[in-house]
Amino acid sequence: MAVNGNPTVRRRRLGAELRRLRLARGLTSTQVAEHLLISQPKVSHLETGRRGISPRDVRDLCGLYGVTDQQVIDSLMEMAREANRQGWWVACGEVPYAVYIGLETAAASVRSYEPLVIPGLLQTPAYAAAITAETIPLATEEQIAVRLEVRLRRQSRAHHPARPFRLGVVLDESALRRLVGSPEIMREQLEYLNRLGEQPHITVQVLPHSAGAHPGVSGQFSILDFPDTATGTVYLERFTSDLYLEKRSDVRHYSAMFDRLQTQALNPERTRRFITRAAQELPAAAALLAGR
């Protein structure tokens, strides 16, 4: 059974794949509309995810586009069926990055560069609580509690014993040196990070300050790849609004950036030693902070 995702996300991804198949067949949206006896705007709405589509319509479009691989057809029809299902996070209340959670839930792999903080999927509960409370100045206690609940529940996807996705993370050294919460919270977080990095489906690498300039200087980004579509999605997190890039050229560009970051970063074994030293240096860093 496929993973339940955000309906809007499912529609967007399904629509993007149907558009790709149409263009590969050399058809215009007007030609498709005429063949199916529907309006051209309906075809456009289907391809942008603004309108749902039935499995039967998906099957008919696959026939029109010359898709003969039954596995591909079945996968697209399943995406159409799941478009009307709600994700688990809907019951948690208002979640500002619900679209991203839907993508992450359906992803087969995530590659992420984080310059400032430990990424949510790798955070301890104490670190997650501290970073959430300290970085959202206008949030109510209820909103903070919702964000924390969702963040910790997201982690089950990365650590699921039967179907974990692959997670590759490049962390800037700043994320290790920034004291979040307290020295005790940071030590627990760094030790936890090392334990996670030993799991076969999780790769953690540190990009030390000595690496100099690199492709990640412009900020955080994540690349999500999916098992049932040929295209991935680039996620750029911003404070009040997020950006999603789905053009093949954009995904290729950010994939090349991530490959370069991995090359410049320490390998996983050297990363674990680096993190261990950072944890050992926490008392001195805390003393320096207290005496400022």
* Rounded distance between C-alpha atoms, residue 140 and residue 129, angstroms: 13
pLDDT of the residue at 89: 53
Domain-wise residue ranges, the chain: 7-82, 88-290
pLDDT of the residue at 57: 87
* Rounded distance between C-alpha atoms, residue 107 and residue 104, angstroms: 5
pLDDT of the residue at 195: 95
Give the amino acid at 188.
E
pLDDT of the residue at 2: 37
Residue 203: pLDDT band (50, 70, 90) is very high
Strands (E), 69-201: 109-114, 166-172
CATH topology of domain 7-82: 434 Repressor (Amino-terminal Domain) (1.10.260)
CB atoms within 10 A of CB 277: 11
pLDDT of the residue at 245: 85
* Rounded distance between C-alpha atoms, residue 65 and residue 27, angstroms: 8
Find how far residue 144's CA is from the centre of its chain: 21
Closest to 228 (Cα-Cα) out of 105, 102, 79: 79
Place of tokens 């000595």: 210
Of 123 and 247, more confident? 123
SS3 244: strand
User: In this model, does residue 166 exceed pLDDT 70?
Assistant: yes
pLDDT in tens, 238-248: 766 678 888 88
CATH number assigned to the domain covering 88-290: 3.30.870
Residue 258: pLDDT band (50, 70, 90) is very high
Residue 49 CB contacts under 8 Å (≥ 6 apart), including other chains: 8, 11, 12, 13, 14, 15, 16
pTM of the model: 0.72
User: In this model, does residue 3 exceed pLDDT 60?
Assistant: no
Task: Give the residue-averaged pLDDT of 181-209.
Answer: 95
- Mean pLDDT (the chain) is 84
pLDDT in tens, 32-45: 888 888 888 888 88
Place of tokens 């996670």: 196
Of 231 and 183, more confident? 183
Task: Give the residue-averaged pLDDT of 202-226.
Answer: 92
